[in-house]
Structure 1
Amino acid sequence: MTLLVTAVARNHVFHASDQLVTYGHAGLVVEHDRRANKTIVIVGSDCWLVLGYTGVAYLDGRPTDQFIAEAVSGVADLSHGGVLMRGRGQSLWIHFEEIGRRIVESVDAAFRRLPPAAQKHKLILIGSGLQFTKPTWRHIIFQVEFNKKKWDSVGDPGRRPSWNSFALNVAGDVHKPIIKRARERIKAEGAESPERMRSIMVDAVRETGAASKLVGENVISVILAPEQSEIGIYFHLSDIGPAIEPPSADPDRILPPPAVYTPFVLLPSAVHCPSIASGGVSRADGLALIFHGPSSTVGGGFVHSYDREPQPGVRRGRPKRAVAAIREVGSAWTRRCTCWRRG
């Protein structure tokens, strides 16, 4: 379980999630991974999106976020962390509907391959984004749920909001009073400032984490700003940790201090995998990924892989792959959308 908070307002997109993965055993909640990534940013040909998952944490023996990133990017193995650069002629330049089709068809096929006992649990994806339509951009906010019977989605793909409106959605271990306060704070003080809105969403995750065994207090958050060609990646480290592991124990290898856990970021010519990074800027495809953290006293910067926890009961190592079919199904992703709650 987790808490995901996703939103779109004016010309910005926002997302915040914790890092904790748990499972039930003998009626108890057991911590499995306190550094899990649940967030995926996608830059498409006609949209910028960010999404996250809650529920089933592994598909085909891989972390669910990794499975989704592989399905969208077409890269067979994204388990190594760091940055993967695409070769000439391999650019990923796909539109919103194709992104949705790849996600839904691949995840649904993998969900059906789960053991019957695992299919009793749901997998929920929520996300938001901006689609660059004319005469004005469209706000996208969606939710897709997979269960043992079917998959279904809700959303508002045709939303063309007034300048001062926003849309916000949550999923996971939702404490309604906390989310209600967050909505009220956004309406009162957050709509004018992207940074303030992101901060309010982070506070909601942190407050929930302090009250729930199912939600962690370390928070990864994102701001997408297409007009500035910027993706902001933020990490809040709680007092109870876990701390960010250093990239090297070698005293002769001086590196900037690690400051940020990063999500998946799928760009046309590069894939940024979940990693640890120093604060700073990485540039690709004419846009900037800005990692927000303490400034370095060394100079330069880095993005470095870290070990992700395997599925419970499985030793570390590369799992055997099961191919997830991506079938042509027309525009099911768009057809099955209905109206979603607005801010």
Structure 2
Amino acid sequence: MTLIITVATPLLIVQAGDRLLTKQLKGKIQQFDEKSNKSLIYEAWNGALAISYCGKAFIRGRPTDEWIAEQLNSKIIIPTDGSDPWSLQMGSTSLHDLLTFDGVIKVLREKTSELPALEFLSHSLTIVVTGWKQKRDRIQNTIIEITRKRNSTTAEKPIGVKRLDRLKTSFFMDLVGSGHRPETESYLNAALRGVSLYKQKALPKSEAEYLTFAGEMREALAMTIKFASTIEKTVGANVHTTTFYQPFYRYPLLAETHFFSDMPHPATIITPTRTIEVHDAAVTGWTLFGAAVSAPSYLVGPTTLQGRFMTLEMNGAPPIDNVKGFFTTIPRRRV
């Protein structure tokens, strides 16, 4: 299992999740993959979505995040020989192939419901979708859950979404996964109370103040997941975050990913001209920007991907020996 935390406010949307996969062997929990991916970003026709999941880690023999990516973009090239997708690929997706925000929800709900019951004999699956959606003449923040429980035949009602502002319904918090315990929620609430602009609805006049707020929010979610990892063995301490800034902050819409880790992740980065060994690299998730697709990768230094109306800044490990901005596919653990 895992812990996925999503907070959506009028100023900012942040989704955070750990990267650990575990398995049970002879009644004991053992680590299966500490660098698995549970994060996707999708640029829709009328919005930007951050997607994460907890529960069932493999669907029809492939990692669940790969399965989700394929449902949203059927032209993604995922090898059938067990090898990993390319870190960056350019496809033939056109504007007409892009889903709307609600179309993404519809596809994921239908595809999850269509899976045979045999897929859910041992594990449930919850997909959490958040983002900014353009609706008529306004833009709103949204959180949606899609859950398929063990031995069930269709998707279930949400289990973790909470409205923090009962009147305006513009503040949302969502916790799902094995790490969602009362003490975890208490830790998160205490951490959020220390975030300076958490309950503010209008952009501050100072850009520095706004960026500080975003950093505090990411830190609060990441530290909560790290805390959960100390009381729940199926939650990992490596945390990936996706941040969507408010659409009116700047254009193109700014999104960022960050990786919080207590341990180094050695990686081999292969470029057209050389092969580089680095002692530490961050890990990224899926980015689905129409024809431009980025698969989960190791990342050293920053790199930027540009969509139709969104700029994604991915923050990797600090540059090492003049290595920066390079990324390469993460070798996946497969069943």
- TM-score interval (norm. to shorter): 0.7 to 0.9
Q: Residue 136 of structure 1 aligns to which amino acid in structure 2?
A: R
> CA–CA distance in 1 between the matches of 2:281 and 2:256?
14
Superimposed CA distance per residue, residues 60-83 of structure 1 (whole angstroms, 9 cap, x where no aligned partner): 110011101100112354341401
Deviation, 1:255, is 7.6
Structure richer in strand, relative to its length: 2
Deviation, 1:256, is 7.5
User: Does the CA-based 8 Å contact 1:137-1:160 persist in structure 2?
Assistant: no
Q: Determine helix, strand or coil for the equivalent of 1:181.
A: helix
Deviation, 1:142, is 1.7
What's 1:151 paired with?
Answer: 155
- Number of equivalent positions: 304
What's 2:300 paired with?
Answer: 278
Q: Determine helix, strand or coil for the equivalent of 1:309.
A: coil
What's 1:231 paired with?
Answer: 255
User: Does the CA-based 8 Å contact 2:300-2:323 persist in structure 1?
Assistant: no
What's 2:182 paired with?
Answer: 176
Q: Determine helix, strand or coil for the equivalent of 2:138.
A: coil
Q: Determine helix, strand or coil for the equivalent of 1:132.
A: strand
Superimposed CA distance per residue, residues 200-246 of structure 1 (whole angstroms, 9 cap, x where no aligned partner): 0001111111222101111111101244322211111113x5x2423
Runs (5+) with no aligned partner, structure 2: 79-83, 201-212
Does residue 36 (structure 1) correspond to residue 29 (structure 2)? The answer is no
Deviates more, 1:287-296 or 1:27-36: 287-296
Does residue 85 (structure 1) correspond to residue 113 (structure 2)? The answer is no
User: Does the CA-based 8 Å contact 1:141-1:156 persist in structure 2?
Assistant: no
> CA–CA distance in 2 between the matches of 1:64 and 1:196?
30
> CA–CA distance in 2 between the matches of 1:198 and 1:244?
24
Deviates more, 1:262-271 or 1:130-139: 130-139
Superimposed CA distance per residue, residues 4-32 of structure 1 (whole angstroms, 9 cap, x where no aligned partner): 01111114221111111112222111211
Pick closer, same or farther for the CA change 1:53–1:244 going to 2, 3 Å: farther
Deviation, 1:121, is 2.2
What's 1:247 paired with?
Answer: 269
> CA–CA distance in 1 between the matches of 2:45 and 2:189?
31
Does residue 6 (structure 1) correspond to residue 9 (structure 2)? The answer is no
Pick closer, same or farther for the CA change 1:48–1:111 going to 2, 3 Å: farther
**Once superposed, what is the RMSD of the aligned Cα atoms?**
2.9
Does residue 124 (structure 1) correspond to residue 126 (structure 2)? The answer is yes
What's 1:259 paired with?
Answer: 281
What's 1:140 paired with?
Answer: 142
Q: Residue 169 of structure 1 aligns to which amino acid in structure 2?
A: D
What's 2:112 paired with?
Answer: 107
What's 1:337 paired with?
Answer: none
Deviation, 1:283, is 2.9
Deviation, 1:120, is 4.0
User: Does the CA-based 8 Å contact 1:258-1:276 persist in structure 2?
Assistant: no
User: Does the CA-based 8 Å contact 1:142-1:153 persist in structure 2?
Assistant: no
User: Does the CA-based 8 Å contact 2:267-2:281 persist in structure 1?
Assistant: no
Deviation, 1:134, is 4.0
Q: Determine helix, strand or coil for the equivalent of 2:268.
A: coil
What's 1:327 paired with?
Answer: none
Q: Residue 185 of structure 1 aligns to which amino acid in structure 2?
A: A
Deviates more, 1:289-298 or 1:97-106: 289-298
User: TM-score when scaled to structure 2?
Assistant: 0.81
> CA–CA distance in 2 between the matches of 1:252 and 1:88?
31
User: Does the CA-based 8 Å contact 2:266-2:278 persist in structure 1?
Assistant: no
Pick closer, same or farther for the CA change 1:122–1:136 going to 2, 3 Å: same
Deviation, 1:175, is 2.6
Q: Residue 186 of structure 1 aligns to which amino acid in structure 2?
A: L
User: Does the CA-based 8 Å contact 2:267-2:279 persist in structure 1?
Assistant: no
> CA–CA distance in 1 between the matches of 2:13 and 2:134?
13
Runs (5+) with no aligned partner, structure 1: 312-343
Q: Determine helix, strand or coil for the equivalent of 2:135.
A: coil
What's 1:196 paired with?
Answer: 216
Superimposed CA distance per residue, residues 19-64 of structure 1 (whole angstroms, 9 cap, x where no aligned partner): 1111222211121111100111111111211121111110011001
What's 1:185 paired with?
Answer: 191
Pick closer, same or farther for the CA change 1:112–1:77 going to 2, 3 Å: farther
**Percent of residue pairs identical:** 19
> CA–CA distance in 2 between the matches of 1:153 and 1:42?
23
User: Does the CA-based 8 Å contact 1:82-1:275 persist in structure 2?
Assistant: yes
Q: Residue 182 of structure 1 aligns to which amino acid in structure 2?
A: L
Deviation, 1:270, is 1.1
Pick closer, same or farther for the CA change 1:72–1:248 going to 2, 3 Å: closer
User: TM-score when scaled to structure 1?
Assistant: 0.79
Pick closer, same or farther for the CA change 1:300–1:279 going to 2, 3 Å: closer
Deviation, 1:295, is 3.8
Deviation, 1:254, is 4.8
